[in-house]
Structure 1
């Protein structure tokens, strides 16, 4: 079946524009905290509010099978508009710290109708070559993850409120692009009724469980690595006695290069197999976790930067491949629900991982912290290779 050439670029662009809502708050956090006097816990609370909103949103979207009962492009549009409205809420002068957290929570909630729904839309179009399509899609999210480091610069040039206005406008534009140019895909099939057990029943299939559990282990490593990239760079700079090291600059590139990893992984998987390339990526990122103390302590700065750039590529390259395996092994009528519930659990695991590393920061030498992330790739490899 010939898929119009504009479909994938529109999905990718719309996904990036809309997921900018996710990271808008991160980019202007310093200004937000100062403006509304959040206190010392403000940074963590604002970040957690979005993540928690996304987890609650994906859980409810999955329970009520929304993306499988309604047109996913319409769900995407409505979610982008509502997400943009709640994102705009944080510029209200009458805000308190509580109302800011509520606005960020509901922004995260409606992102549940954007990120996994974008993957569902791609899966409805690309039954073959889905790994490549999702490689581009997750690559767009990776660029969005790196975007806060760019937004920090913007916030220094413009008023922080302008960044919020811009991201909300971009999100609405993304939703409009999706509804205008991406109709329901040829491989999609809409369910006809609410099935509250659907998000649990999908796990009965062995191959689906293996893909989902592989994704869960991958998520244990991914977001904690991203969150602590600046710490890794700062630690290395301190050990090297460098006071002018551009931490934000290299943090952007270490995270952003993961987009290239997603695209390359998607292309290679077409020839070598999705499961095989996901396993290789897991193995390599797990090795990076285990050797991180050695390079952090002893590698010259150029070699350490190259190491982090490589880690930044392989830590995310398997993400679109796991989403591909999840979509391929889910019932057609529950594809959107399956992707959404797997996202829900995966992002809940990121919070557990982040909290674990944060607690251990005070208990073990910092150079050994990142070895603990290897637990995720090891678990994922076991899930993918076990026979029963």
Structure 2
């Protein structure tokens, strides 16, 4: 048990270090726009580039079953090294929007060997209590994606390039820790050769489809919310000049609240059940989407901040739950492939959400734009009501 706890701590910390790469460009978007003469739509494009790279990466990793064929810790390490180099390339002085998009795409591609592979490694060490383990792991992801915002605030006296440098160093550290301190888990069952059909055949599983649809609805909302948190805060400041919200610090706080929620959700799932915990969080975030105009138009800074922090918690709580349902719905030899392909489709959906939200910001009042995100949670909730998908108890 002591060995398991030590290994889980290393996995969680490594995941945190490597996922700081994800939102590095979001944290310094104003500096990137200024230095490279980018348009105001660059935020949505750069965020989508990372997610698109992640989609293609997860597709490649899933088709070739990398995490199920090879040592997942080694896959994690190699991916972390390459992703950190792509991330670091963003500081080059001759960058344009095209080069930045290509570097962010590359970063996202190799994040496919970090986030889902980290969950695969955790699954290899967890025969029971996987929901709690993945709660910690997703909590690390949340804290990692939030960190660039706070790094930008604390490095304001220095060059914006420091954010990219520090996140790349953290990714290298996380990869090295995973490679040298986390051996293959006791429940790992490697496959001898590539099974190209595996990434399709796993969807014949009824329980996996049900969990996947819930995850897809969650992803429609999650990145649409995360990516535009700074925009939401700036809009509130503009409408309420006296508010003077610190955008970087509050952006970090709102996203980082999801770390606490993911961990607490993992413990709750052991008592209330993984599916029930996931659906409760999904319903809560659905309500946040619908109620968002009331708080965006509010004159109360306190009410707005509390609402945003609560939304930051419930928007991510269901993520480890759905991933647990996916992992538990397939055999041990296909866990890596199943988690990876579900992530692939989920992030593809997130790109559509981000791009549409980016367009709506120019067309619709900022107070009402984010109600659009409610479509995702609604879909996920309805998926669990379809009898055909609800034959087996989870």
**Interval of TM-score (by shorter of Structure 1 and Structure 2):** over 0.9
User: What is the distance in 1 between the residues matched to 2:97 and 2:282?
Assistant: 39
User: What is the distance in 2 between the residues matched to 1:369 and 1:45?
Assistant: 18
User: What is the distance in 2 between the residues matched to 1:297 and 1:9?
Assistant: 42
User: What is the distance in 2 between the residues matched to 1:159 and 1:237?
Assistant: 25
CA contact (8 A) 2:260 2:313 kept: yes
User: What is the distance in 1 between the residues matched to 2:30 and 2:311?
Assistant: 28
Residue-by-residue CA offset, 1:182-205 (whole Å, 9 max, x unaligned): 111111111111111211111101
Alignment CA distance shift 1:85-1:342 (3 Å): same
Residue-by-residue CA offset, 1:123-150 (whole Å, 9 max, x unaligned): 1111211111111111111112222321
Do structure 1's residue 49 and structure 2's residue 49 form an aligned pair? yes
CA contact (8 A) 1:229 1:251 kept: yes
Alignment CA distance shift 1:364-1:101 (3 Å): closer
The alpha carbon displacement at 1:213 in A equals: 0.4
Alignment CA distance shift 1:299-1:126 (3 Å): farther
In structure 2, the partner of 1:248 is 248
In structure 1, the partner of 2:391 is none
RMSD: 2.0
Gaps of 5+ in 2: 389-394
**TM-score (norm. length: structure 1):** 0.94
In structure 1, the partner of 2:324 is 324
The alpha carbon displacement at 1:227 in A equals: 2.0
User: What is the distance in 1 between the residues matched to 2:298 and 2:159?
Assistant: 41
User: What is the distance in 1 between the residues matched to 2:304 and 2:39?
Assistant: 34
The alpha carbon displacement at 1:243 in A equals: 5.5
Gaps of 5+ in 1: none
In structure 1, the partner of 2:150 is 150
Residue-by-residue CA offset, 1:16-51 (whole Å, 9 max, x unaligned): 111122223333344344444445554443333222
User: What is the distance in 1 between the residues matched to 2:211 and 2:371?
Assistant: 24
CA contact (8 A) 2:217 2:377 kept: yes
CA contact (8 A) 1:208 1:325 kept: yes
Residue-by-residue CA offset, 1:334-366 (whole Å, 9 max, x unaligned): 111111111111111111111222222343332
CA contact (8 A) 1:28 1:151 kept: no
User: What is the distance in 2 between the residues matched to 1:6 and 1:169?
Assistant: 23
Residue-by-residue CA offset, 1:237-278 (whole Å, 9 max, x unaligned): 444442623233322211110111101100000111000011
User: What is the distance in 2 between the residues matched to 1:369 and 1:41?
Assistant: 16
User: What is the distance in 1 between the residues matched to 2:252 and 2:292?
Assistant: 19
In structure 1, the partner of 2:23 is 23
User: What is the distance in 1 between the residues matched to 2:241 and 2:194?
Assistant: 60
